[in-house]
Homo-oligomer: A and B are copies of this chain.
């Protein structure tokens, strides 16, 4: 069972919005056995919408459309779809009531332009949007289905989860699909591929799929299978996963949607241990990763961002001598930071990071991308030197991931 996604919006074509909806749809349709075979992004233009629809329906029976349903004048999708399906409009009282209720819940009255969103094509099944004012529209004609939804991710996801996934499953027959992804950190794509070469050849001979997905110091390996029977596919994929893990070892930190911060948090909770941070070049990003996971307060009371010499001295007790002698980006300083924050917050682990995030700040022997990460543990302190690249935000992210990975390995040993 294949489907295509049509995304409408000049904002995506001119690059002011990144299309995150399609990724979410691709992933979640996959879970119900619908494979997204194409994603097409077009502009808010009647002719473009019509031609994209014709092309998609020539290839597949299910098209999901996002965007182009806002209350403002640049959105013409609803009118175009009504024309495409030869439909009149009517005023949907239920939708109007929902729009009024929505505005009341945020303490306002709907404007006329908002109530116009209750005008809907007669020939579609309206999927009520309880999170916003643009309704979902399910058009079904001659075995082909078009589902049109607003582009606001939170609203689109709500419509899909509340009704659309179920409606797709009852309307179409779908095969069993199973994906499992091994998450790794610290080793490059080609090295992993070289280690797994024999395994990969066998996997492909068995009709399973594999993809390498690298990003910022991490590589994900996705193994996938499609067929009639979920139980046997799942068994075959899981068997290959087990074999791969035996080859690659501890560079694997989790599966699928696991985050490194989540894994580290679980290990800390299992050990009944606590963590604090002294962040310099990462500027709070490690703390953000930790606290993005609900429940982190069980092992995390807080941390300090020590962005200057003074805050390093005053807040985590780094010695003026070390700063003067070695500079802030040094083994001595990150070790003192890690020990200092561990002591001040009275935690089991203290993590620190100090580096040249760039673009400024480089010296002759410390180019942009030079980063020291320190870790104080119940049994001592160590530190690790990294040489990342030239890009500030990427350096911040790679440093934060590397720091979490150091802690993960420490917690496993």
Contact = CB atoms under 8 A, between A and B. Distances in A.
Contacts of A19: 18-19, 22-23, 39
Interface stretch (A28-36, A140-148, A166-174, A402-410): A28-36
A303 B40 CA distance: 44
A350 to B, nearest CB: 14
A303 B279 CA distance: 10
A364 to B, nearest CB: 17
Given A18-B20, A189-B71, A301 B307 contact: yes
Contacts of A43: 37
Interface in A160-201: 179, 181, 189-191, 193-194, 200
A380 interface: no
Contacts of A224: 14
Contacts of A38: 13, 40-42, 48
A175 to B, nearest CB: 15
B359 A294 contact: yes
A291 B304 contact: no
Given A39-B13, A284-B291, A154 B193 contact: no
A308 B297 contact: yes
A17 B12 contact: no
Contact residue range for chain A? 35 or more
Interface in A278-319: 279, 283-288, 290-292, 294-297, 300-308, 310-311, 315
A222 B14 contact: yes
Given A16-B222, A284-B288, 18 more contacts: A10-B209, A11-B222, A12-B22, A13-B36, A14-B224, A15-B24, A16-B181, A17-B215, A19-B22, A72-B193, A73-B193, A74-B209, A283-B288, A292-B396, A294-B358, A294-B359, A301-B307, A302-B304
List of 10 A-B pairs having minimum Cβ-Cβ separation, nearest first: A283-B291, A15-B27, A284-B287, A284-B284, A15-B26, A302-B311, A39-B41, A15-B23, A301-B308, A302-B307
28 contacts: A12-B23, A14-B36, A14-B222, A15-B30, A15-B36, A16-B23, A16-B211, A18-B18, A18-B19, A18-B20, A19-B19, A70-B214, A152-B214, A154-B389, A283-B287, A283-B290, A283-B296, A284-B286, A284-B291, A288-B288, A292-B393, A292-B396, A294-B357, A301-B311, A302-B306, A302-B308, A302-B315, A303-B304
